[in-house]
């Protein structure tokens, strides 16, 4: 709880700012998933002392052993930080008591009803509240609906006797992690920051300025929350447009990939997006629905978002239909066919299967009694309900004995020349084999 005389409380912001600018602040990162672990490592490398908190004991043990479980975080970097004492992890929240900055980086999934599920945020806040003290900066990074910071977090902090902006400081800064992207990382992706008060914004900006080149301040957490949702809504809508374009082009016997390539030569007014088996990852399939849910409460219906979600979620079933048609043309039915799925992650060269359309495709294939195997260098084992699958190598033999090879994720490590030579039938929904598309009887694309 807050306490002390007004002069002491008035100096909280000054004392905290000095720690942030000097890099002497101690930081706690709550949630060590794709966002939290990457951010914690970046903070440690910037000179901060970081303590990670996660309820997953396996993650905690891996971190303390200097072993990374993310493709974007090297074990070497993690090990160096752990050995130097810059980074450690625990399953308890008591480290919050000694922290100057607390970052909340927990998942925000959707319920089956497509409504936001902020239970992980609520659980994290309730767990850290007993350990909060005056002079701390709390920043929510988890993607969520506009208003969460001020409508959910602020009342809980003030319910403990704090005054936000005076003795504790609260802000929202959306994560912008792009797994597998070596060009854009925490250090060079601009950070959007919106504090509950101007002082909260100033302190959050001072903190992030130590780890990134550019900090963009906005007037409120609500603006920052909405900006994050717009980023991924933009991508969802344009991917849906590319998917619909692919279906439309095939109806008029036009190659959609060639169309997009041609349009992309325009140096202004056009940004290429590409069709595929559907959207995946934690952001694009979920974030737009956080926005549509929130504005629906005010009586406004976001029709573009709903239509884009409908188109993108229909793509896995369309892919299975493509496979059925291609097999039928060769006199083979899908029932009992040996289907070899290449890539099960939601995008190339990452180990993330969250919301991956490949998983839905495998489920649909299994429902139709296909004999499914898969290969993915980033996912050695896969759980599909009670069914366990293990990745098998892409060899001449595994390709030759498959009735259909589906390229669901275009990992760079796959030998596409080998696939073109040895597979009886390839359904390529990523255009990974664009150079071999002349044999339409063997290679089918979107």
Q: Which residues are catalytic?
A: 283
> Rounded to an integer, what distance in angstroms lies between the CA atom of residue 440 and that of residue 443?
5
Q: Please state whether beta strands 168-172 and 191-195 pair in parallel, antiparallel, or not at all (unpaired).
A: antiparallel
35, two tokens: 């966002």
Which of 106, 10, 15 lies closest to 55, judged by CA? 106
CA dihedral 216, 217, 220, 222 (to 10 degrees): 0
Facing residues of 110 across strands? 116
- Secondary structure of residue 131 in the 3-state scheme: helix
Which of 351, 354, 368, 444 lies closest to 406, judged by CA? 444
Cβ 91 vs Cβ 53: under 8 Å:
yes
Q: Please state whether beta strands 371-375 and 87-90 pair in parallel, antiparallel, or not at all (unpaired).
A: unpaired
Angle at the Cα of 187 from the Cα atoms of 185 and 189, rounded to 5 degrees? 65
Which uninterrupted H or E stretch holds 407? strand 404-407
Which uninterrupted H or E stretch holds 223? helix 221-251
Q: What are the backbone dihedrals phi and psi of residue 136, each rounded to the nearest 5 degrees, phi first?
A: -105, 150
> Rounded to an integer, what distance in angstroms lies between the CA atom of residue 64 and that of residue 96?
18
190, two tokens: 């601009």
> Rounded to an integer, what distance in angstroms lies between the CA atom of residue 173 and that of residue 156?
19
> Rounded to an integer, what distance in angstroms lies between the CA atom of residue 387 and that of residue 59?
24
- Cα–Cα distances (Å) from 376 to 38, 347, 361, 441, in that order, read 23, 11, 15, 26
Helix then strand count (H, E) for the chain reads: 16, 15
- Cα–Cα distances (Å) from 337 to 58, 123, 340, 390, 408, in that order, read 38, 46, 10, 19, 17
Which of 67, 69, 64, 80 lies closest to 34, judged by CA? 69
Cα 107 from chain centroid?
9
- Cα–Cα distances (Å) from 29 to 102, 175, 242, in that order, read 6, 13, 37
Cβ 332 vs Cβ 403: under 8 Å:
yes
> Rounded to an integer, what distance in angstroms lies between the CA atom of residue 309 and that of residue 330?
33
């Amino acid at each position: 709880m807050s306490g002390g005389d007004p002069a002491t409380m008035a100096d909280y912001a000054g004392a905290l700012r000095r720690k942030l600018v000097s890099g002497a602040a101690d930081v706690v990162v709550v949630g060590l998933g794709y966002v939290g672990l990457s951010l914690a490592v970046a903070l440690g490398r910037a000179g901060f002392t970081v303590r990670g908190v996660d309820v997953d004991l396996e993650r905690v043990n891996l971190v303390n052993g200097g072993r990374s479980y993310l493709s974007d975080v090297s074990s070497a970097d993690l090990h160096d930080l752990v050995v130097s004492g810059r980074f450690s992890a625990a399953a308890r929240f008591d480290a919050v008591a000694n922290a100057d900055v607390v970052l909340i980086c927990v998942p925000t999934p959707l319920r089956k009803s497509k409504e936001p599920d902020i239970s992980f945020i609520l659980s994290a806040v309730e767990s850290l509240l007993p350990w909060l003290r005056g002079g701390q900066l709390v920043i929510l990074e988890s993607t969520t609906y506009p208003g969460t910071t001020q409508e959910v977090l602020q009342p809980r902090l003030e319910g403990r006797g704090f005054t936000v902006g005076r003795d504790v400081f609260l802000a929202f800064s959306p994560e912008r992690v792009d797994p597998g992207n070596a060009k854009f990382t925490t250090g060079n992706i601009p950070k959007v920051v919106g504090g509950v008060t101007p002082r909260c914004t100033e302190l959050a900006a001072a903190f992030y300025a130590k780890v990134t080149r550019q900090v963009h301040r906005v007037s409120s957490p609500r603006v920052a929350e909405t900006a994050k949702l717009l980023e991924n809504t933009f991508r969802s809508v344009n991917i849906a447009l590319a998917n619909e374009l692919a279906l439309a082009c095939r109806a008029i016997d036009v190659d959609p990939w060639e169309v997009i390539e041609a349009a992309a030569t325009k140096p202004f007014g056009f940004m290429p997006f590409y069709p595929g088996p559907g959207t995946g990852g934690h952001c694009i399939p979920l974030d737009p629905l956080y926005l549509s849910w929130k504005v629906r409460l005010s009586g406004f219906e976001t029709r573009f978002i709903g239509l884009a979600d409908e188109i993108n979620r229909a793509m896995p079933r369309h892919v299975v239909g493509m496979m059925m048609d291609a097999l039928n043309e060769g006199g083979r039915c899908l029932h009992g066919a040996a289907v070899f799925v290449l890539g099960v992650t939601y995008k190339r060269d990452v180990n993330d299967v969250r919301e991956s359309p490949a998983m839905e495709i495998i489920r649909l294939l299994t429902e139709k009694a296909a004999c499914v195997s898969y290969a993915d260098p980033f996912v050695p084992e896969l759980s599909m309900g009670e069914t366990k699958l293990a990745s098998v190598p892409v060899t001449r033999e595994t390709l030759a004995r498959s009735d259909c090879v589906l390229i669901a994720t275009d990992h760079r490590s796959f030998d596409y020349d080998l696939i073109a030579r040895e597979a009886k039938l390839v359904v390529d929904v990523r255009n990974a084999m664009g150079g071999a598309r002349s044999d339409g009887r063997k290679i089918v694309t979107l």
